[in-house]
Amino acid sequence: MKALHQLFTGGDREFPQELSTDDRRRGRSLFYRFYALNGISVACLMNHVLVLYAIRNGLSDAVVAVMASFIHLAMPFMMLGKPAIARFGAARTRGLGWFFRYVSALIMVVVPFAGGLFPQYVVTALLLLGAFGFAAFRSIGVAAINPLQGEVTEPHERGRFISSAHMRVQITYFITMALIILSFRFLDEIWLYQLILATGCLIGFYTSTIMALIPESSAPTNSARRSYKEMLYRTVKNPSYRQVIYTRCAGMSAKAIIIPFLIITVKNGYGVSDYSALFFGLILVFGAAMAGFINRKFSDLIGPRMMMLLYIGGMMLVAAFMCFAPRQFIPAFPGMVFLLAGFCDIGLTIGMNQYFLGVVPEHDRVGNSMMMHIIAGAAAGLSGSVLGGGLLALFAYVGFDGLSLYRSYFTVILVVLFGFFMVVRRIEDSRRFQT
């Protein structure tokens, strides 16, 4: 415990004014290791596994949609990341957030034990509590991620670095999902979900220690020592900073109203087994891995604005396909849709992160990153829970059921995505801000 305390708090260690070339190289290496292992824990604890686990534990579609939005709704907890960065530094704050993230996730592991002892509302409350704690502590750590990525890279290599990092996540995610699916092929039991979640927690505890070791200069700490008022003022006053927030709101909201609802559609719209639903999730991950590989080749060439336009357009195509989803279950159709959605999901993330680092200088990255994630997280969370969950509840209330409910949902969402596309279309190219 003493060693962990020293690792996450750093004692009296001072940060240098500037990182050396070797420090940046070591930081990128640690980032790559973190992302590779993080792909395993994410596969075990987020997205498709968690959605199916919630359905298996009796949560309704609307409640599952709200739970899937916690990752965005919990973004205001980033406010706690600012004083932590000012005191401990960005890397150790990220490590602390990640450590307690997995402490919270352990609550979800024990939820099925409550099923035989307590009514459904207690089971639902426990699962939501664990999921919200998981998202809240993640938000505290996320306050440090963009400043740290800027610390270990130079402007000309950021697109390649971010793409390579996400490619590593998706490769290990893909392998882990394949093993999970193979497990469910032979064992379709609730305890298998619990074992998968517990495995994700153990790996997550280790990744938190890797993140805490990433070198950094004094820039993130100095940036975090500004007041909340000054951070908000600098973010709102600067037109280019506002554009960063607009793009993040559009991109995160687009992902929030598409990705979780695809897995809900194949599970409850077509009534497939957990094994089959997870298989389509694996296809989505494969698409994401392809995006990481392909984007590292050209992301620095075409720029993040064009990338975001391409991938929001791709999300519109996903919604358009789902509007006309065949009533008969034809595996090739959702397979194609999930592949495209996965490609666009990670492409959007890479574009948004690259745009942030291209526009916001290092002395403003902590404050702008925090404001950006909080505002965009609120927008995405409300999009997924209120808009997404609300539409499903509304269509169910008026009499839609089965696949027609989800086809109606994606019809409305297609119009919303067009609005997001127009938001991104109006922003300036981030390369204009680089010297």
List, for residues 263-278, the tens digit of each pLDDT value.
888 888 888 887 788 7
Phi, psi angles (nearest 5°) of residue 82: -60, -55
- Rounded average pLDDT over 162-170: 80
Between the CA of residue 48 and those of 67, 353, 387, 435, what are the distances in Å?
Answer: 12, 24, 20, 42
Both tokens of residue 386? 């209120």
CATH number of the structural domain spanning residue 289: 1.20.1250.20
Report how far residue 170's alpha carbon sits from residue 35's, in angstroms, rounded to the nearest whole number.
9
Task: Note whether 355 and 423 are within 8 A (CB).
Answer: no
Q: H helices within 89-218, ranges in order? A: 90-109, 111-115, 120-142, 145-151, 158-186, 190-212
Using the structure block, give the residue that is written with the tokens 């949609």: 65
Least confident among 58-62, 137-141, 291-295: 291-295
9 within some domain: no
Residue 186 in domain: yes
pTM of the model: 0.73
Structural domain tally of the chain?
Answer: 1
Average pLDDT over residues 333-357: 89
CA atoms of 261 and 84, how far apart (whole Å): 35
Q: Averaged over 350-356, what is the pLDDT? A: 84
Among left, alpha and beta (phi > 0; psi -120 to 50; other), residue 427 is beta
Least confident residue range of 39-43, 86-90, 356-360: 356-360
15 is a domain residue: no
Query: Could you tell me if residue 2 is inside a domain?
Result: no
Query: Mean pLDDT highest for which of 229-233, 350-354, 390-394?
Result: 390-394
| Per-residue pLDDT, 411 | 94
Letter string b/e over residues 383-414, b meaning 16 or more CB atoms within 10 A of that residue's CB: bbbebbbebbeebeeeebeebebbbbbbebbb
- For residue 435, name the pLDDT band (cuts at 50, 70, 90): very low
- Which pLDDT belongs to residue 275? 77
Q: How far is CA 88 from the centre of its chain?
A: 24
Contact in structure between 414 and 319 (CB atoms under 8 Å): yes
Residue 1 lies in a domain: no
Whether 5 maps to a domain, the answer reads no
Residue 309 · residue 424 · CB < 8 Å: yes
* Within a domain: 294: yes
- Find the domain containing 298 and state its range: 20-433
- Binned at pLDDT 50, 70 and 90, residue 195 comes out as very high
Q: Is residue 345 part of a domain?
A: yes
